[in-house]
Structure 1
Amino acid sequence: MKKVFLILVLPLLAFATVHKFYISVTNIRYSEKSDALQITSRYFIDDMNTVLKERYGIDAGLGSDDETQVGQEYLEKYVRAKFSITRNGDSVDYTIIGKKYDVDVIILFVEVPRIDLPSVKRIGVQNEILTDLFDEQQNVVHFNIEGKKKSFVLLKSDTKGMLNL
């Protein structure tokens, strides 16, 4: 009887020690039609809710029926504090044009208007989102601009990536 119990319970205990992974994916591409960088970032909703609770003391309720306007405002505040884009070494402004939810992921849509690509020698990204709360956070960034592709894995210790054009 003890053997049967161990055989049934042991696999359940193995799942109890499975470690959650912390990763995001950001795609950056150039739209010739609008002369803009179009950026799409995906983060786990529960991680974003946790960081907003830890940093600002609010229950944002992102992705739920309890989502608040204040939560959305603090989400934008947090993203602007932790995510930046540079053109030729100079910071550029961006617009958060929207968000949507897909199962357990929040997808943020960001645009950098009037990029003037012919004058651009390099585009940089700094992504510290969630690295301030989760040491294991990996922010994967994929550049695809004018046929030049480059990918980075940004970590807490190395939060910047650059594409030379």
Structure 2
Amino acid sequence: MFNTKFVTIIIAFVFFGGISAGKHPLHVSTTEVNFNARDKTLEVSCRIFSDDFEAVLSKTYKQKTDLSNLAMKAAMDELVKRYLITHLQVMANGQPTKMNYLGFEIDHEATNIYLEVEKIPSLKSLKVTNTILYDMFDDQMSIVHLVKGNVRKSAKILYPDKQFGANF
């Protein structure tokens, strides 16, 4: 594990500053899995640079992509869902889960994607397998946060590694 201040600095630099009008210097995504004890769900969110995400969607599915084009929203939802379900898996308490795709939104240079896992009565362990953008960049960094109540466990996963797990 590593210092969460480092993660915060990287995220702030990458997503909110230090990005020129051209290409950004880092290939990074963040994924957070938050256990909602009241609703007995896992709330999953991913944040990916939109230009990188559009490029990988276009390459993978061999079609034009434009995540910010409202006329293409339904088609983009289908591509985003297919890609995320293929490249992100979550195991809860040692069991694979079925994620429900909720949608995405554009936030400046990033795309936020939301998923949910239902019927998780209690949580003892989480394991995430994340290969988002691995089929595009061999310098991809994935930052993963696993949260249960006030306990937050984080890791930086560097290509080709793809898993992070924690016990609560």
TM-score (norm 2): 0.80
Aligned to 2:152: 149
- Please state if 1:78 is matched with 2:105: no
Alignment correspondent of 1:30? 35
Choose which of 87, 92, 95 in structure 1 pairs with 2:92: 87
1:48 equivalent in alignment to 2:48: no
Q: In the alignment, is the contact (CA less than 8 A) between 2:77 and 2:103 conserved in 1? A: no
CA distance in 2, matches of 1:66, 1:37: 31
Helix, strand or coil: the match of 1:116?
coil
CA spacing shift, 1:21–1:35, aligned 2, 3 Å: same
Identity of aligned residues (%): 25
Q: Please list the CA deviations of residues 114-163 of structure 1 after superposition, one character each: whole Å capped at 9, or x if unmatched.
A: 1111xx33111111010111111111011121332210112222100101
Unaligned 5+ runs, structure 2? 1-19
1:72 deviates by 2.3
Distance 1:124 1:154 in 2: 13
Structure 1 segments unaligned to the other structure (5+ residues): 1-14
Amino acid at match of 1:107: N
- What is the letter of the counterpart of residue 125 of structure 1? V
- Whether the aligned pair in 2 keeps the contact of 1:132 and 1:156 (CA below 8 Å) is no
* CA deviation after TM superposition for structure 1 residue 18, in Å: 7.9
* Farther-moved stretch of structure 1 (127-136 vs 140-149): 140-149
The structure with the largest alpha-carbon Rg is: 1
Structure-2 separation of matches of 1:68 and 1:59? 12
How far did 1:75 drift?
1.6
User: Contact (CA 8 Å) 2:37, 2:121: kept in 1 or not?
Assistant: no
1:69 deviates by 2.8
- Say how many residue pairs are matched: 149
Distance (whole Å) between structure 2 residues aligned to residue 44 and residue 18 of structure 1: 10
Deviations 1:69-113 (A, max 9, x none): 333212211111100000122210111112111111110111111
SS in 2 for 1:70: helix
Q: TM-score, normalised by structure 1?
A: 0.81
**How much has 1:64 moved relative to structure 2?**
3.1
Distance 1:65 1:18, change over 3 A: closer
